[in-house]
Structure 1
């Protein structure tokens, strides 16, 4: 069985591209490429960037859900940049809400280090999407807080959220960035920047240590998946109960009532409600 998993792991490894977080994170560890990408997206000059963590994990409270950020860097002025590769759209409204959640967690992380709220840094949350999240064919969608009554008046809270669309054809963007987006969409890299990215992907995939790391993760996943299948009957029952509990909670039933019907502790039902964002009491 392990030989078969190893064979599949190698096949998966060969298929990996810039779209896969495992590769994207490692490519973005190339300071020059990460800096170039930010400069092209934001149309600014950055003197230098630094990496607080290879893969930033923020867990500001013991009872909060931790968030793991793909690429988290800061520049010489202290501005913070979070870059995420996104290949799935999810439910309607999910990605904008995730951007909001990431923003809140980054702010809480900064405040937890002794920063006063009026000293919060400029933050940029950037999703590189392989799909058009908003369906308007723009290559880039940039969001900042503005006054509804006075459209030219910005709130000035220092936050920017950007969604790149690898399939977009509209909008004036740097030609190098447009070609990079085509490359992310699976097309041939034609210009210097995208070609540099492609070479870095190839370099990362030539590294024996990185390949072994991926194969270890893949095989561990397969082992856990097999163990899960063997426990499938019990897990299936638990999953069915959880799904039914969600339906009852959404229908307006109270946590104690659902707990009694499901023969589960109230705390477990409360956790199900919180994890799915269902308001319940």
Structure 2
């Protein structure tokens, strides 16, 4: 029975992988993770620049916030000038809310400077949302959001940039071709040979498929663990249950629940 269950689970994973597109964030983050060339290509198209040089690219980067909500970034990258980029893919419109972009920008800033480091050292940042739908509903391929001074229209140069990329846009320009590629299930239909090659590796190459199956299983375990922690945290904040009962309900160890309780008490102080 266990062997049969394992085979069924494997077939389910393979069928999911076969349907993945770059608009699926877990898949996209692995396609671009640690791939400087692919990340550089993506940023050059979106920013419409030829001089950009990426030095670092990481996928599924978790930024902890002890005083509030933590986040997991799809892609975090840095270029040779020190500019920092967060690239997010959003299929659901609500996942690309304007205040989410604001929060990601803020938490990226909050985790950039070292203690007592000068504020002038804060790097220029880009929060880039690639959305499957035209969530801002302007019919534009790109939306650049920057702060301006209301009274005279001058730019407020805090070097904080937010860009929305309209995934519905199609055209013969580079953005149109890129959004076509993000929508493709079959890598053979992609315009970019680079993206097609990386997508093909995770979909059709034996080693790549095995790696993607492992990644999906790891993500599933992480999500279950995060759900347990969320349940335990809510019960601790409610204050109606003792730690052994919370451990039983959340399926966490008593030691883990005690650690969460201590963290909450530290925050309260």
Shift of 1:90: 1.6
Encode CA deviations 1:229-269: one digit per residue, 9 max, x unaligned. xxxxxxxxx9xxx9xxxxxxxxxxxxx9xx69xx679xx9x
Which structure 2 residues correspond to residues 95-114 of structure 1 after superposition, within 5 A? 95-112=97-114
- Partners of 2:221 and 2:109 lie apart in 1 by 38
Shift of 1:166: 1.4
Q: Residue 179 of structure 1 corresponds to which residue in structure 2?
A: 177
- Partners of 1:224 and 1:51 lie apart in 2 by 25
Scaled by the length of structure 1, the TM-score of the pair is 0.69
The unaligned stretches of length 5 or more in structure 2 are: 225-230, 247-269
Q: Does the residue aligned with 1:111 lie in a helix, a strand or coil? A: coil
Once the two structures are overlaid, the 10-residue window that deviates more, 215-224 or 197-206, is 215-224
Once the two structures are overlaid, the 10-residue window that deviates more, 128-137 or 63-72, is 63-72
Which structure 2 residues correspond to residues 215-230 of structure 1 after superposition, within 5 A? 215-216=213-214, 218=216
- Partners of 1:225 and 1:143 lie apart in 2 by 32
Report how many aligned residue pairs link the two structures. 232
The unaligned stretches of length 5 or more in structure 1 are: 227-237, 243-255, 269-281
- Partners of 2:17 and 2:98 lie apart in 1 by 31
Encode CA deviations 1:131-170: one digit per residue, 9 max, x unaligned. 011112111111000112222x00000011001011136x
For the Cα contact (< 8 Å) 1:176–1:193, is it kept in 2? no
Q: Residue 164 of structure 1 corresponds to which residue in structure 2?
A: 165
Shift of 1:188: 8.3
Distance 1:115 1:41, change over 3 A: farther
- What is the CA RMSD across the aligned residues, in angstroms? 3.7
Q: Does the residue aligned with 1:134 lie in a helix, a strand or coil? A: coil
Scaled by the length of structure 2, the TM-score of the pair is 0.72
Q: Residue 232 of structure 1 corresponds to which residue in structure 2?
A: none
- Structure 1 stretches of 4+ with a deviation exceeding 4 A read 187-193, 217-226
Matched, 1:128 2:126: no
Q: Residue 38 of structure 2 corresponds to which residue in structure 1?
A: 33
Shift of 1:47: 4.6
Matched, 1:56 2:61: yes
Encode CA deviations 1:194-246: one digit per residue, 9 max, x unaligned. 343223211233444442343345457779999xxxxxxxxxxx9xxx9xxxx
Q: Residue 90 of structure 2 corresponds to which residue in structure 1?
A: 86
